[in-house]
Structure 1
Amino acid sequence: MTDDLAQIEQLAGALLRRVDSGERRKILRLMARTLQRSQSARIARQQNPDGQPYAARKAQPAGRLRRKGTIKRKAMFRKLRNAPNLQAGSTDTEAWVGFSGRAAQIARVHQEGLEDAPVKGRKPVRYAQRILLGDTKAERQAMLDIVFRHIDADVR
């Protein structure tokens, strides 16, 4: 199945190269925005691209200033997945989705499971790997559908 999808992706790439740059830019912009929404929704569901849930947060000692309840547990990456941080863009040759600024640094630490100091001056902590950006079969299929819909519309 993966080989078949790879062949179809190569065909779609060849079709895209034949389209003029203005139309290609429009198609790639639509692909980038669709992928951005899909990635944001998956991050909100707290799932890796393979469908597995993110590693749970480490248990914090109970204290007077600690938040209790589900808001703190479920709010992981809440602001990171918003449009100012999770950005999408395109040119006439490529489409991309990624993080910017400080959000990119935070995302990289979680994406790769690195160490980072939670607060300046504190001891670094190793974070569990949580894959924020990654493609799923459904997203790849959606990108191919966008290309084929556009090609089909041009043929008619």
Structure 2
Amino acid sequence: MADLDALVDHLGTTLNQLSNAERRKLSMAIGRKIRASQKTRITTQKNPDGSAYIPRKFRLRNKRDKIKNKMFNLIKNAKYMRLQHTEQGIAIGFVGRVSRIATVHQYGLRDRVSSDGPQVKYAARELLGFTPQEIAMIESDCLAYLSTRL
């Protein structure tokens, strides 16, 4: 997060000179790229630091009940991972019931497997977070936009 603060300090004064419409256009374009990057990272089952997700517990009652899908296969789609423009910039997050599930996994909290099931402590799997490549991409996109504008 310190890298992101340094980026804001570095580009902040120049970006504040843009009109609201230009700033919104730039932030939405960057937000869409970050959402796509987050989706790719979730698909590969990796944390922002590059380490692999802790695998889910192996449960196999019989061959037919084996879990075949990767974790977070559906919630990475744009239907659940939403992009929202705020006064400060862009917010990327999950909506609805998926938001609660994502929060439990993001921070490694306790939750029930089913409504009447036992409570389980989930391993922390960072669904949302900045990678060094994304921070570099934000900086390069901002500089490219500013250079075309001048």
Q: TM-score, normalised by structure 2?
A: 0.91
Hey, what's the Cα distance between the residues in 2 that align with 1:109 and 1:92? 27
Amino acid at match of 1:60: R
Aligned residues: 149
Picking from 134, 137, 143, the partner of 1:139 is 134
User: How many Å apart are 1:146 and its aligned residue?
Assistant: 1.2
Give 1:125's aligned residue: 120
Once the two structures are superposed, residues 30-54 of structure 1 have per-residue CA deviations (whole angstroms, 9 ceiling, x without a partner) of 1111111111110001000000000
Percent same amino acid among aligned pairs? Answer: 32
User: Which deviates more from structure 2 when the two are superposed, residues 9-18 or residues 139-148?
Assistant: 9-18
**Distance (whole Å) between structure 2 residues aligned to residue 38 and residue 27 of structure 1:** 17
Higher relative contact order structure (alpha carbons within 8 Å, sequence separation ≥ 6): 1
Instruction: State the 1:61 CA deviation.
Output: 3.5
- 1:50 corresponding residue in structure 2: 49
Correspondence for 1:25? 24
> Which amino acid is the alignment partner of residue 92 of structure 2?
V
The 3-state SS of whatever aligns with 2:12 is helix
CA–CA separation in structure 1 for the residues paired with 2:7 and 2:112: 44
Query: After the TM superposition, which segments of 4 or more aligned residues of structure 1 sit over 6 Å from their partners?
Result: none
Can you list the C-alpha shifts for 1:39-93, whole angstroms capped at 9, x where unaligned?
Answer: 111000100000000001101133365126xx33xx2100010111011122454
Q: CA RMSD in A?
A: 1.8
> Closer, same or farther in 2 for the Cα pair 1:21/1:78, shift >3 Å?
same
In the superposition, the TM-score normalised over structure 1's length comes to 0.88
After TM superposition, the structure 1 = structure 2 runs for residues 41-120 of structure 1, keeping only pairs within 5 Å, are 41-63=40-62, 65-67=64-66, 71-72=68-69, 75-91=70-86, 93-120=88-115
